[in-house]
């Protein structure tokens, strides 16, 4: 299909499509003339993915580029690709972190080992978690690793069917894309449900 048809099918403007092509988020179409290219169903799906990550997931373009590079790197096996996609979602933290973040990072490492969670050494999530713990402690929140265990027991049960669902996809790209959209969107679902619960519980416990 031509770019105008791709725009109609995906609901993304031609200007945005050209921007995503330039930025390397969308693979080029099949060249048919000097100034014309042919696009397929993969392009429609990829555009839906890009828009979901930006509009719904709130990811900046740089993070979208990093995660999609992991999706498209056919050389990495499926599990590593699942990891790489997750790693693309966060900035890699700076080395010169404060002492309280350093201490929290050691706790996170010990805690992950106690859960037998295998995570790649370059994963940004344990570093992010250490920053979050240090922040909560600066505001005197009583945070311990047993609190994290309660959250993790629940989360582990929720993600198992998600991983199975992604793995059952017909090909590697569909599997990794599904994993990506699930990671970003379902994570956000939990955040929004938490906000609703906070408001509802606060209202309920209010004397007025």
In the range 179-198, which residues lie near a second copy by CB under 8 A?
179, 181-183, 185-198
Largest CA distance in the chain: 71
89 counts as binding a second copy under rule CB under 8 A: yes
CB of 32 to a second copy, least distance (A): 29
Q: Is 96 in the site for a second copy (CB under 8 A)?
A: no
Place of tokens 């017909």: 170
Does residue 15 bind a second copy (CB under 8 A)?
Answer: no
Which bin fits 39, alpha (ψ -120 to 50), beta or left (φ > 0)? beta
Q: What is the separation of C-alpha 25 from the centre of its chain, rounded to a whole number of angstroms?
A: 16
Among 75, 99, 150, 170, binds a second copy (CB under 8 A): 150
203 binds a second copy (CB under 8 A): yes
Minimum gap (Å) between residue 157 Cβ and a second copy:
9
Please tell me the total number of residues recorded for the chain in this structure. 208
Is residue 125 involved in binding a second copy (CB under 8 A)? Answer: yes
Question: Given CA atoms 181, 58, 102, 195 in this order, what sign does their dihedral have?
Answer: negative
Q: Does 121 bind a second copy (CB under 8 A)?
A: no
Rounded Cα–Cα distance for residues 155 and 51 (Å): 26
Least distance from a second copy to the Cβ atom of residue 3, Å: 21
In sequence order, what are the residues at sequence separation of 6 or more whose Cβ sits closer than 8 angstroms to the Cβ of residue 11?
Answer: 51
Smaller CB distance to a second copy: residue 30 or 205?
205
Q: Which is nearer to a second copy, 14 or 147 (CB)?
A: 147
Rule CB under 8 A: is residue 102 a binding residue for a second copy?
A: no
Measured from the CB atom, the residue of 3 and 163 that comes closer to a second copy is: 163
For 146-173, the DSSP string reads HHHHHHHHHHHHHHHHHHHHHHTSSSHH
* Contact call for residue 139 and a second copy (CB under 8 A): yes
Tokens 């014309």 correspond to 36
Interface residue with a second copy, options 44, 131, 145, 172 (CB under 8 A)? 131
């Amino acid at each position: 299909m031509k770019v105008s048809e791709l725009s109609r099918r995906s609901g993304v403007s031609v200007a945005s499509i050209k921007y995503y092509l330039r930025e390397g988020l969308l693979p080029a179409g099949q060249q048919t003339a000097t100034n014309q290219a042919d696009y397929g169903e993969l392009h429609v799906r990829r555009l839906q993915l890009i828009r979901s990550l930006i509009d719904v997931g709130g990811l900046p373009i740089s993070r979208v580029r990093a995660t999609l590079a992991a999706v498209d790197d056919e050389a990495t096996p499926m599990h590593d690709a699942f990891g790489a996609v997750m790693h693309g979602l966060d900035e890699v933290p700076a080395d010169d972190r404060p002492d309280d973040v350093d201490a929290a990072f050691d706790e996170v490492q010990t805690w992950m080992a106690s859960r037998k969670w295998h995570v790649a050494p370059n994963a940004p999530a344990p570093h992010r978690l250490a920053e979050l713990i240090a922040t909560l402690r600066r505001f005197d929140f009583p945070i311990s690793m047993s609190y994290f265990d309660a959250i993790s027991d629940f989360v582990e049960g929720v993600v198992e069917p998600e991983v199975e669902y992604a793995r059952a996809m017909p090909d590697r790209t569909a599997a990794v894309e599904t994993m990506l959209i699930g990671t970003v969107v379902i994570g956000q679902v939990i955040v929004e449900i938490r906000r609703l619960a906070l408001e509802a519980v606060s209202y309920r416990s209010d004397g007025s």
